[in-house]
Amino acid sequence: MYEAYWQLRQKPFENTADPRFYYPGESHQAALLKLRYAVENQRSAALLCGASGLGKSMVISMLRSMLGERFSPFVHLVFPQMAAEQLLAYLAAQLTGSPDGVACDTPQSVRRIEQFLAGNAQQGRHAVVVADEAQLLGSNKTLEALRLLLNFEFDCRPGLTLVLSGQPGLIPILDRFASLEERVGVKCLLRPFSERETGEYVNCRLKLAGAAQSIFEPEALVTLHRLTHGIPRRINRLCDLALLIGYAEQLRSIGSSHLESINEELVAVTPE
């Protein structure tokens, strides 16, 4: 709606994990490098932790885009809240490429996974399984099922790397499940953007979307950081609304007062 007015090719602040719009913030870049190390060196497991909205999905999307064909298949489990038997059946279907709906009991699923990983390793490949929202894996049986998958080794190396991605509540869950925690080769913690990173993030996204000139005034970026606390999802929401309102009001640029007003009226709405 507002793209033509601001001379953009596309919307710059969509809340999607599009690797084209990745901004290498300090903690995000450190996490990405650690995860690449874990996968490329075929470590058993890795942990990516951060509060909601900090960009865990973007980091995973970037990881997937950077890994070569050797690190496949790449299975992204976005709804991990399953019973252990269901989870193993799902992973067996996703790893092997079988159609959805294949019913298997636990021994069958484990056998299918083991046979697939053995063949995958023989072809020089290494599988990656990402469990998103892993703090929902609260069942000991489910966690144990995932841990046991890490026991499949071929030529003295694990057949897959398990990446557990979740909110901070995942850390105490792992602490209580020492047999899995001990297999975690690297741990990554995302933090919010600093004030400088917030400004760079906004300008980076605008440039990637085709902006030829500055849209947000320098002081507006300082205000933006204060209002959003440097959380990418909040930044995206407020900036998207600001571009829309700026278009509606035919503004030439977006200042601090505009962001304050938009945040108060459209974001931080509280019942009377």
**pLDDT tens, 137-185?**
867 788 889 999 999 999 889 999 999 999 999 999 999 899 999 999 9
Averaged pLDDT score across all residues of the chain: 93
Sign of CA dihedral 155, 67, 46, 142: negative
State how far the Cα of 79 lies from the Cα of 59, in Å rounded to an integer: 18
State yes or no: pLDDT of 99 exceeds 90: no
| Per-residue confidence (pLDDT) for residue 104, from 0 to 100 | 72
Q: Parallel, antiparallel, or unpaired: how do β-strands 160-166 and 157-158 relate?
A: unpaired
Is residue 243 within 8 Å of residue 2, measured between CB atoms? yes
pLDDT band of residue 233 (cuts 50, 70, 90) is very high
Helix (H) or strand (E) holding 163: strand 160-166
State how far the Cα of 200 lies from the Cα of 203, in Å rounded to an integer: 5
Encoded tokens for 73: 């298949």
**pLDDT tens, 61-76?**
999 999 989 999 999 9
Encoded tokens for 152: 């499949």
**Going by C-beta distance under 8 Å and a sequence separation of 6 or more, which residues neighbour residue 265?**
none
Whole-angstrom CA distances from 111 to 92, 152, 190 are: 9, 11, 36
Mean pLDDT of 210-237: 97
Q: What are phi and psi of 3, to 5 degrees?
A: -60, -50
